[in-house]
Amino acid sequence: MPEVIFPLDSTKSFTEQKLTGHNRWHPDIPPVATLKRGESYRIDCREWFDGAIKNDDSADDIRDAPLNRVHALSGPFRIEGAEPGDLLIVDILDVGPIPQEEGPMAGQGWGYTGIFAQKNGGSFLVDQFPDAYKAVWDFRGGECTSRHIPGVKFTGMVHPGLMGTAPSSELLKTWNKREGDLIATDPQRVPPLALPPEPDAAILGSLTGTDFDRVAGEAARTAPPRENGGNQDIKNFTKGSRVFYPVYVSGANLSMGDLHFSQGDGEITFCGGIEMGGFIDIHVDVIKGGMDTYGVSENAIFMPGRNGPVYSEWLAFSGTSVTLDGEQRYLDSHLSYQRAILHAIDYLAKFGWSKEQAYLLLGAAPIEGRFSGVVDIPNSCATVYLPTEIFDVDIRPSASGPTQVDPGMGAPRAMNPG
């Protein structure tokens, strides 16, 4: 096993650990350790809410999830020899739940998926699903099942939802300017158009005093993906993947976290993967001057691993860029994917699952989402592929009609969601 360079004790909160990670992006957050080029390391990662979500039958914790505290990131790690303009190579050697542990922390044999309430971030389908719901998943080997969504079982596609390098001061200013300009176009919108710097609940490694206060007021939130990689939530970023990150500061300052046991394309419920804590083993190296050599000046490129689940039979749904009210939109692929997802939800509801159960399932299972047509005006076409093998019943259309499943207790909904 590689050296554990960032250990976490499951009985302690994220800020009580031997090494303190962070939950904001800023070039002045000090590295917790130095990683040598050509070496391999194990890094423990905490579930993104640091234990705020429980293994129970209530969604009140999803409704009240402390969004200001995310993400609980391991790092930053200085990479020996990395300088601005280089490309950082990160190989994912292994990734998984917390090894050999069962307990109350997500990752200790279980994880969760949540539909976020409109007043706390919302989701991809926030207009249709404005309230908070939750599903808890139990891990057994490489597979998972849920008491909240009976009748399905699938193999996990384990991956880090978030990994990235620190921004330069100039890049950080660019982020804050452009996102602030967007917020200013509709500052009262719920959910907001973007998340500005927020000192409340900031975790900034070993910074203290006036340095902490300054950085907390400038640092970018970790929710969106940006030029440095960040919270890209790519389900195919699995064991065996190799990623190339732009380096913007001396040492690169690599960070990671937000592990998922599985996820569908798009992480459509916002808390859409099966969230968990765990570990990731990485190997690092550097391509000197790689940003200019390969034209990778922004946004990471990566080579997917070959360790995802193998499903060979699918049922696919399509959607076009027409709203539920019948309004025509011009090549709106985002809307097309929403409509494809809604068609899949409506279809699964015919078998007895609630629409909330279907939505949670599509956020957690390894569905394939694709932009299938983006040139034929005025309608773009998006598709979503469901692996049919994950269901206990045959979900393919037939003359006999849908087989009815027992939906069990259903997906818990938060009390007093309004």
pLDDT per residue as tens digits for the range 359-369: 999 999 999 99
Are the C-beta atoms of 133 and 413 separated by less than 8 Å? yes
DSSP 148: T
List Cβ<8 Å contacts ≥24 apart for 204-209.
204/22, 204/24, 204/26, 204/29, 205/20, 205/21, 205/22, 205/29, 205/30, 205/32, 205/76, 206/20, 206/30, 206/32, 207/28, 207/29, 207/30
Question: Where are the alpha helices (H) located in 93-135, listed in sequence order?
Answer: none
Average pLDDT over the chain, rounded to whole? Answer: 97
Letter for the amino acid at 38? G
Structure tokens at 390: 């994950």
CATH assignment, 3-303: 2.60.120.580
Are the C-beta atoms of 248 and 7 separated by less than 8 Å? no
| pLDDT at residue 272 tops 90 | no
Q: How confident is the model at residue 1 (pLDDT cuts 50, 70, 90)?
A: confident
The position carrying tokens 């190799």 is: 242
Are the C-beta atoms of 367 and 264 separated by less than 8 Å? yes
Assign residue 338 a region: left if phi > 0, alpha if psi is -120 to 50, beta otherwise? alpha
pLDDT value at residue 418: 55
Structure tokens at 96: 């998984």
* Strand partners for 157: none
Closest CA to 351 of 408, 386, 401: 401
Give CA–CA dist 143/134, Å, rounded. 19
Q: Element (H or E) spanning 362, and its range?
A: helix 355-364
Letter for the amino acid at 171? L
pLDDT value at residue 307: 82
The backbone torsions φ and ψ at residue 24, rounded to the nearest 5 degrees and listed phi first, read: -145, 160
Give CA–CA dist 147/170, Å, rounded. 48
Q: Is 213 helix (H, G, I), strand (E, B) or coil?
A: helix
Q: Is the pTM of this model over 0.85?
A: yes
Give CA–CA dist 177/196, Å, rounded. 10
Query: What is the DSSP track for 276-326?
Result: --EEEEEEEEEETTHHHHHT-SSS-EEE--S-S-----EEEEEEESB-TT-
Q: Convert the pLDDT of each residue in 276-299 to its tens digit.
A: 999 999 999 999 999 999 999 999
Domain residue limits, the chain: 3-303
Q: How confident is the model at residue 415 (pLDDT cuts 50, 70, 90)?
A: confident
pLDDT value at residue 328: 98
Structure tokens at 98: 């917390």
The position carrying tokens 């509709």 is: 186
> What does the buried/exposed string (b/e) look like for 297-313 if buried means 16 or more CB atoms within 10 Å of the residue's CB?
eeebebebbebbbebee
Mean pLDDT of 330-355: 98
DSSP 129: -
Structure tokens at 196: 């500005």
pLDDT value at residue 373: 95
pLDDT value at residue 417: 59
Radius of gyration of the chain measured on its C-alpha atoms: 21
pLDDT value at residue 402: 98
pLDDT value at residue 275: 98
Give CA–CA dist 326/330, Å, rounded. 13
| pLDDT at residue 303 tops 70 | yes
Q: Convert the pLDDT of each residue in 62-80 to its tens digit.
A: 999 999 999 999 999 999 9
Half-sphere exposure of 262 (CA within 13 A, CB side): 30
Q: ∠ at Cα 180 (50, 182), nearest 5°?
A: 105
pLDDT value at residue 416: 76
Q: Convert the pLDDT of each residue in 106-121 to its tens digit.
A: 999 999 999 999 988 8
Q: How confident is the model at residue 193 (pLDDT cuts 50, 70, 90)?
A: very high
| pLDDT at residue 308 tops 90 | no
Q: What's the N-to-C CA distance of the chain in angstroms?
A: 48
Structure tokens at 117: 């309430």
Q: Element (H or E) spanning 381, and its range?
A: strand 381-387
Q: What percent of the chain has pLDDT over 70?
A: 100
Q: Is 163 helix (H, G, I), strand (E, B) or coil?
A: strand
